[in-house]
Amino acid sequence: MADTTAAASSSSSAQPMEGLAEDATGHKPTVIVVIGMAGAGKSTFVHRLYLHLTAQKKRVYSVNLDPAVRNISGDTVKYKDVMKHFGLGPNGAIMTSLNLFATRFDQAMGLIDQRASELDYVIVDTPGQIEVFNWSASGTIILDSLAMAYPTVTLFVLDTVRCTSPTTFMSNMLYVTSIMYKTKLPTVAVFNKCDVHPSDSCTRWMSDWESYIDAVRNDEQNGPDHGGGYMSSLMRSMAINISEFYENLAHASVSSLTGIGMGDCEAQIIAAAEEYEESYVPYLEARKAAIHKHRVELAKQQLKVLDKQDAKRKAQQQKAPTVAENREDDAEEIDEDEAEDLAKFREMLQQHAHPRKGDCRRCSSGG
């Protein structure tokens, strides 16, 4: 995990704060959390949004929360090291990396706090495995930590080309509405890749469920399935029953490749930030104690996992033959570095699992 400007390090010099972070003038940067299905173009969208905002003379800070990104070095959690140490596959390592990162996210917040007075926006890119961030305790901790400190909005990026299929469109609407109601944060649906296919049909289906049902009927008769009655019936029922939850959802159509529609997207972000100030601050203030409790429980859980893995590794080492003498020196150095990193992780987890009074910077006022 890393961020494109500076990610969470061991810095802890930020001053304690309660409530929403702001400078003497009351300025607070808006946090933009970008979520979406794998392949929707989230990272490309983040890059284009960064370029657009900086071209508008906005001060932007970007954070990457995807530990599996290959071209950005993770300076908080090393994805491959997590795979090796815990014996996990790619998806399990992403989940564990996010859990480890969540326990020290206060350090990332410290870095943002230090720059808050100099920033207009903080853009957060999330993993493509959507369930890893949105339906995990660690993702909730990270999102709530941001939302308690700064005006926070979520952007759900959709692949417009795929959404031309009525079935895929409805699946994405289920995702975006579930995220909106789970996070309780202002949400904007961003139809990406509009340079490849216009989003007119998608935006029309959002506001007019009858036109969507017509599209389902047409797809049933002329689509590749030619009369998949059960699926069509399901889609019609869903449109009738849940359309009221997404028909007024803020949305924008963009091309991350060409930059088309980024101005409208920025306008939607500004409106969502205003909605946050008006509607979401009281709700988030009431959740501070619960968020602190989640962070402590997650740290304790990760400590148990580390202890279990260490015990298993020691047992295997006792049974294993002596390591070959011709082992490469650089491999030994890597193992030493990993051991040092893991020792730091363990110390950090213990601090979070057994916090002293007053340790929680943002949750203290909530009990």
Rg (CA), the chain: 23
Burial class (CB in 10 A: 0-12, 13-18, 19+), 346: middle
Helix (H, G, I), strand (E, B) or coil at 56: coil
Domains and CATH numbers, the chain: 30-287 (3.40.50.300)
pLDDT per position as a tens digit, 292-335: 777 677 778 777 877 777 777 677 767 655 544 444 444 444 45
* Phi-psi category of residue 41: left, alpha or beta, with phi > 0 → left and psi -120 to 50 → alpha: left
Of 194 and 83, which is predicted with more confidence? 194
**Least confident among 100-114, 255-269, 281-295:** 281-295
Question: How do residues 113-170 score in pLDDT, each as one tens digit?
Answer: 999 999 999 999 988 777 777 777 778 888 888 998 999 999 999 999 999 999 999 9
**pLDDT tens for residues 65-115?**
865 555 554 455 666 677 777 677 766 777 777 777 777 788 889 989 999
List the one residue out of 150, 185, 186 whose CA is nearest residue 28.
150
Q: Is the pTM of this model over 0.85?
A: no
- The burial class, CB within 10 Å (0-12 / 13-18 / 19+), for 289 is middle
